[in-house]
Amino acid sequence: LDISEYSLYQIEMEVIETMASWPKSKHRPEVHGVLGSVLDRNLINEVIKTYAIKTIYHAAAYKHVPMVEHNPAEGIKNNVLGTLRTAQAAAECGVSDFVLISTDKAVRPTNIMGATKLIAEEYLFAVASRSKTRFITVRFGNVLNSAGSVVPTFRRQIEQGGPVTVTDPEMERYFMTIPEAVQLVLQSGAIGAGGDVLILDMGEPVRIVDL
């Protein structure tokens, strides 16, 4: 489910093309792209019931720090209310597992984006004890080459001959690859207990100027 038609089309095609190389099997899963918003609780309820959803990976969030600073109301609405309504629908419809993809910026947040994710985490922690749905939060840092990451920006700036915009030469960040992030999220969903906040070992921090 995605609010962006272009993103939904891209990921649907990517999944279908990947599955085409799999061995023939009667257990081949079906892929259904649903266009809509996590703020639409009626839609979420309908999707869960129609497709008998057992596990939700909730990754819908505005995560670009400066963008959310400039548009705080939309950031709060999407990141906080979107999580709340999706979680409510999951509990109401008997979804067994709900995994929230959070961020290391939720630790003592210094920006609105981090604060919205912390509120979403706290809400899930509050409802976990009184719900049959297992609510789990996975918190990690920057994923290389993911949408909105610094790598595509740096690459574009270098291709154009610079300059490369590094805010502070001493700034450090933790990075992991997309396959690493996906595997760790899936493992977290399998091992976490209700109300857990799982923090991934991101290895050693990397100076942005070295990156």
Under DSSP, is residue 130 helix (H, G, I), strand (E, B) or coil? Answer: coil
**16, burial (CB in 10 Å: exposed 0-12, middle 13-18, buried 19+):** exposed
Q: Which of 24, 54, 77, 105 is catalytic?
A: 105
Residues 6+ apart with CB under 8 A from 85: 38, 39, 40, 41, 44
Q: Is position 132 annotated as part of the catalytic site?
A: no
**How distant, in Å, are the alpha carbons of 1, 8, 14, 201 from that of 17?**
18, 14, 5, 32
- Cβ(102)–Cβ(59) below 8 Å: no
DSSP at 102: E
- Three-state SS string over 78-94 comes to HHHHHHHHHHHHHHHCC
Q: Which residues are catalytic?
A: 105
